[in-house]
């Protein structure tokens, strides 16, 4: 038995952490069974991509709370995509507990050449997704179980839970309550600040007469579609997919050169039209690579999340021109202000910009 825990300051530990051990076990085993209460849309898509990039694998995923609590539309879209993949490739099953609310978290890894390994504890499926920066992840504690009497009990529990207490997703999805997406993708993060309306209006009052548009492009494996690009391969050959919300915008040279005071290869502060504050940066030739600082998913959650909420983009879908047309906009406005703010980490004064991605019906 081995302890797996988070490792956040000031509670630093020397134990293994859940994510690194989960990836090791996923890479070295061919059959995986998972029973969890909840699963975020990006964790479902991450799991789907792991199966695509690291074959052959068999997966049985059982969700314990979906039938009772409902799921968001983005979760529903991601589950549909995963279920289609599992069915088409005969890779396993997706099921939903209907007998009672199941809130456990059990992960089983089996290679058939050695005893199965289990992880039991507090980590929901969202913890399999790597996070950079200062996300809103909780401190979790899990236990790895291998070759003990408890393993046999967990195996029996999963067998009964999946076979006797659950229904295949395809047979029950029409009965699951699907609610419209809220917009919590940036809420609760330590590297993103939710700004009140008075503070936002004060920042907007310092806008200069200088703004420019940065077009969003249809690029199959980059820009907003980095998720569909090549994954990152480690020394053991395990391929880690890019995050669904990972975004880095490649800005055309025409914009870089013509836009007055375009921030070239610097960090800067943005305040968004819907009231968020976070750091961004540009890098590369003429500052062509535009991204949120430290964590590329911040900008991605802001752009793709808003498109998902509007119904213009389905979770896990390649972003195309048609999605921009449905949303009603294919560019982001950058507006310069006269303000500067101190970066407490570096001690530098950073310029402040306003960023707008409102759909036309929201622009007054």
* Tokens at 198, concatenated: 């008075």
Report CA dihedral (317, 319, 320, 324) to the nearest 10 degrees. Answer: 120
d(CA 304, CA 313): 7
Would you say 106 and 63 are in contact if contact means Cβ atoms under 8 Å apart? no
Would you say 286 and 253 are in contact if contact means Cβ atoms under 8 Å apart? yes
Q: What are 42-95's pLDDT values in tens digits? A: 999 999 999 999 988 999 999 999 999 999 999 999 999 999 999 988 899 999
The residue length of the chain stands at 364
Q: What are 85-123's pLDDT values in tens digits? A: 999 888 999 999 999 999 999 999 999 888 999 999 999
Task: Read off the pLDDT of each residue in 338-345 and give the average, rounded to a whole number.
Answer: 92
Torsions phi, psi for 106 (to 5 deg): -130, 130
Task: Read off the pLDDT of each residue in 216-231 and give the average, rounded to a whole number.
Answer: 92
pLDDT band at residue 187 under the 50/70/90 scheme? confident
d(CA 270, CA 204): 11
Domains of the chain: 2-179 (3.30.870.10), 193-362 (no CATH)
d(CA 73, CA 53): 26
Q: What are 146-176's pLDDT values in tens digits? A: 987 899 999 999 999 999 999 999 999 999 9
Question: CB-based burial of residue 246 (10 Å sphere; 0-12 exposed, 13-18 middle, 19+ buried)?
Answer: buried
Q: Residue 44 to residues 78, 122, 231, 289, 326: CA-CA distances in angstroms? A: 6, 18, 16, 28, 25
Q: What are 225-238's pLDDT values in tens digits? A: 999 998 889 888 89
Coil, strand or helix: which one is 220? Answer: coil
Pairing of β 92-97 and β 58-63: parallel
Q: For the chain, give the mean pLDDT.
A: 92
Lowest mean pLDDT among 97-111, 172-186, 240-254: 172-186
Identify the pLDDT of residue 257.
86
Q: What are 264-309's pLDDT values in tens digits? A: 999 999 999 999 999 999 999 989 999 999 899 999 999 999 999 9
pLDDT band at residue 10 under the 50/70/90 scheme? confident
d(CA 294, CA 345): 13
d(CA 314, CA 312): 7
Residue 78 parent element (H or E): helix 73-88
Count the Cβ atoms, other than its own, within 10 Å of residue 27: 17
Closest CA to 38 of 5, 62, 4: 62
Cα dihedral 225, 356, 337, 204 sign: negative
d(CA 242, CA 250): 17
Closest CA to 223 of 242, 196, 202: 242
Identify the pLDDT of residue 364.
45
Give the contacts of 337 (CB within 8 A, at least 6 positions apart). Answer: 203, 206, 207, 208, 351, 352, 353, 354
End-to-end CA distance of the chain: 60
* Tokens at 130, concatenated: 């790597």
Calculate helix-pair angle for 73-88, 41-53, nearest 10 degrees: 20
d(CA 109, CA 104): 17
Identify the pLDDT of residue 184.
66
Report CA dihedral (307, 312, 313, 318) to the nearest 10 degrees. Answer: -110
């Amino acid at each position: 038995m081995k302890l797996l825990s988070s490792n956040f300051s000031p509670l630093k530990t020397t134990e293994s952490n859940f994510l690194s051990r989960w990836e090791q076990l996923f890479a070295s085993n061919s059959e995986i069974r998972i029973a969890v209460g909840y699963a975020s849309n990006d964790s479902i898509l991450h799991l789907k991509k792991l199966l695509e990039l690291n074959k052959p694998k068999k997966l049985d995923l059982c969700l314990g709370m979906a039938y009772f609590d409902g799921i968001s539309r983005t979760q529903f879209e991601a589950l549909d995509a995963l279920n289609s993949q599992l069915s088409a490739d005969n890779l396993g099953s997706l099921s939903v507990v209907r007998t009672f609310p199941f809130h456990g978290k059990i992960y089983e890894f089996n290679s058939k050449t050695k005893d199965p390994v289990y992880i039991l504890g507090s980590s929901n499926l969202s913890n399999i997704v790597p996070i950079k920066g200062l996300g809103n992840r909780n401190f979790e504690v899990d236990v790895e179980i291998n070759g003990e009497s408890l393993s046999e009990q967990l195996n029996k529990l999963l067998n009964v839970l999946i076979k006797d207490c659950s229904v295949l997703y395809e047979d029950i999805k029409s009965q699951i309550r699907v609610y419209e997406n809220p917009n919590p993708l940036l809420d609760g993060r330590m590297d993103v600040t939710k700004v009140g309306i008075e503070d936002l209006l004060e920042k907007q009052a310092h806008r200069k007469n200088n703004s420019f548009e940065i077009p969003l492009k249809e690029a199959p494996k980059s820009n907003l579609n980095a998720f569909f690009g090549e994954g990152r391969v480690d020394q053991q050959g395990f391929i880690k997919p890019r995050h669904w919300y990972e975004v880095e915008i490649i800005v055309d040279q025409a914009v870089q050169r013509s836009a007055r005071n375009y921030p070239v290869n610097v960090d800067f502060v943005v305040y968004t039209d819907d009231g968020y504050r976070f750091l961004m940066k540009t890098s590369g030739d003429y500052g062509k690579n535009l991204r949120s600082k430290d964590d590329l998913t911040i900008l991605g959650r802001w752009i793709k999340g808003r498109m998902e909420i509007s119904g213009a983009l389905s979770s896990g879908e390649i972003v195309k021109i048609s999605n921009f047309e449905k949303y009603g906009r294919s560019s982001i406005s950058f507006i310069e202000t006269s303000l500067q703010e101190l970066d407490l980490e570096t001690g530098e004064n950073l310029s402040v910009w306003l960023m707008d991605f409102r759909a036309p019906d929201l622009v007054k």
